[in-house]
Structures are given as C-alpha cells and as structure tokens.
Amino acid sequence: MKNIAILCDSNPFLKPRPARMIEMLKDYYPLFVFGRGIEESERVVSFPLSKSSSQRSEEENNAIAKACLEKNFDFLLYTKERQILQDKLLSTPSLSLLIVEDITLLPFALAYKEKNPKCKIMIDLREFYPLEYENDSSWLRSFGAFFEYLCSHFLHKVDFALTVSEGIARKYQEVYSLPCTLFLSLPPYYPLTPSQNTTIRLIYHGLISSDRESENLLEIARNLRSGIEMNLMVLSNHTQFLQEFKNEAKNIPNLSLLPPVRLEEIIPFTSRFDVGLITLKPNGFNNTHALPNKFFEYIQARLALLTTPLPSLAPLIERYKLGKCSSDFSTSSIIEAINSLSLEEVQTYKQNSHIASEELNLTSNQAKILNIIQTLLGEK
C-alpha cells in the first residue's frame, strides 16, 4: 500500500478543504498529516505555530517588512518553525504522494521529492495567491511579490494541481502555464430535510472583512421588510473590524449575532434557517471567481440561496434552481432580491437544494480524487 502525506501550514482539521481531503483518503491509504500546533499521534505530525503580526515584536515585524522590500524571500520561507517541519518530513520514509494544501509548503515537498524522486506532488490551490489582497498596495509590493515568487519558481515542478473554480484555473494556466483540475469544495452528506418556518430566516456564516465589503450585511439587515430576519455567524482575521462590526450590529433589531460552531456542526446547525447569503462583489480577482465553501454548505443544509451574480455562482444557481441572484452587485439590488422572496418560493428552492444535496457532497469528490490519485500513482 502506498503512503500519502497531507501538508498544511495551519491546523488541517479546522480548514474545510484539508479536513475533507483527510476524510476522503483516510480509509483508502496509509495517511500522514503534517500541520501546525496539532496533537500528534502515529501518523499525525505537528510543527510549531508561528507568531501572528500582533504577537511579534516591532523588531520582528520590521525584519519581515525589510525582507519583503529586499525580496529576501528565503527569510520569509525558511522559518525556524518550517525547518522543524522539513526535518520531520525528510525523516518520514516511503511517501508516494505529497498533497500540499498551502503553497508556502511547496518548497519543502519538493525538497522531499529531490531525495525521493519517485514521490509525486499534488497541490491544492484555494486562491490565485499573488492577488489574494490585491486592493492593498503595500501587501502587493510585499507578500504579493512573495507569492508571485513561490508561484513562478515552484509551481511548474508539481505533478498535479487542483483548484476551486474555473476562473482561478484559467488564471494559473494563463500566467504560469499550469493546468489545474477543478475540484469543488463539497462537504459531507448530511441526512437532513428542509426546515419549515413561518418567517424567512436568513443566515450568513464565515469570514468578514473590509476587503469583502462585509459592512453591507449590516445595511441589508437594516432594510429588510417585515417577516424577514438576519442571522450572522461570523469570524474575522481583523480584530478591530470584527469588534466595530459587532458594536454596530447590536443596534439592528432584526439581526442576531450567533456564536461560531465547529466545522462539522455548521451544516446541521444552519439547517434551521431558510436562505443562505453570499454577498461577495467583484472587487478583486479572487472574489470575482470565488466558489466558496459556504455555497455548498448552504445546499447541504437544505437552504435556498441568495447570491450576487458572480460568474462561478450564477450558473449553478440556475442549473439546480437553488434560489435567486441579485440583478447586479449593489447592496440595494441584494436587498431588493431578498425582499421579493415569498415563503412559498423559499420552500421550493429548499426542496431543490434537498435534491442537489444528493449530488453535491463529499462522496462524488471522493470518487474523483481517488481516481486522480490512482492514475497519478500508476495504480490504474
């Protein structure tokens, strides 16, 4: 039996795509998992967490900024924490496939391949990384340049690449001549039935930030007609933004802020609601071509969907008759689309999600990834 390892530059059990990759493969291959700050076991290997920018000293932050400006990318890449990963990885024998979940770990996977030439490398590209925060000019000049370096120097050495949407796949092909296979972010199947409510209960769950223009969720809540309520279960990487968002939300009577739940609880918890919201605007390449985890989690929760008309979302909404897209990307058009919903429409869309949930779940992804791996490893 051929051994596989999954490499993640964070906790892989808390991130949807790595966690679901583990779930899909664990019963079919001896599986090693490398991640930060996780509890170790026979095949689960931990390396230390890095400090966040708020935890670092001014001197440490200045050193990182200086390395970015001077394009000293090795300083950013080969940290003492990742060196521990490299030592542990290189001491792991007989790995036939490394699945890289974060591009920052690709050079370490390739170092393993140099010592073990028969090992294959697969990378899962969740974003077009050089443009991840393209609206921040200082980020583009610093970490954007770092990610461009990683892409241009290392991506051509992988044996197989997955990505989350057709638009991102085209971009990697166009810029780096890297063919990518579309691999949707499908969640596990849950045996649920659509809920029945007497009012329309909206839910948005996930990250919020100024880059995503998440303030529009508050404006939407303020302008909902009677009989519609807003529920938000949000996290943010920006502490001040999150606190200001919560403070403003307290003043909106038809809005409820809900405490976040664990990854595996998101779908059963949100199934009590009626309509899942996605309000992303095309204010950057990755947002324009996003196909978020929550899109498929809403379907699995048997919710109707209300989204902006992003090119990755609108065709799926139409194909499966899952809900409505706003007429354009303005907050006013999102509000108009929500307020036009009737309970009867919502129940029809929820039934359509119920049907689509039988197809759009981890089982179909599992068959696809096993076929890819078997072909890659010469098992077919």
Residue type, 5: A
The domain made up of 3-186+362-376 is a member of CATH 3.40.50.2000 = yes
Q: Say which residues have a Cβ less than 8 Å from residue 181's Cβ, sequence separation at least 6.
A: 160, 161, 162, 163, 169, 372
- H/E stretch holding 257 reads strand 255-257
| Average pLDDT estimate for 192-207 | 96
Q: Say which residues have a Cβ less than 8 Å from residue 114's Cβ, sequence separation at least 6.
A: none
Tell me whether residue 74 is exposed, middle or buried, using C-beta atoms within 10 angstroms of its C-beta: 0 to 12, 13 to 18, 19 or more: exposed
Q: What pLDDT does 37 receive?
A: 93
Q: What pLDDT does 343 receive?
A: 97
CA angle 225, 227, 232 (to 5 degrees): 85
What are the structure tokens assigned to 81, written together? Answer: 């924490």
Neighbours of 83 (CB within 10 A): 12
Q: What pLDDT does 358 receive?
A: 97
Determine if the pTM surpasses 0.85.
yes
CATH topology identical between 3-186+362-376 and 200-357: yes
**Confidence category of residue 148, pLDDT binned at 50, 70, 90:** very high
> Over the stretch 48-84, which tens digit does the pLDDT of each residue have?
998 877 788 888 888 988 898 899 999 999 999 999 9
Residues 261 and 269: beta-carbon distance below 8 Å: yes
In the chain, what are the domain boundaries?
Answer: 3-186+362-376, 200-357
Fold of 200-357: Rossmann fold (3.40.50)
Q: What pLDDT does 253 receive?
A: 94
> Over the stretch 77-94, which tens digit does the pLDDT of each residue have?
999 999 999 999 999 989
| Average pLDDT estimate for 145-170 | 98
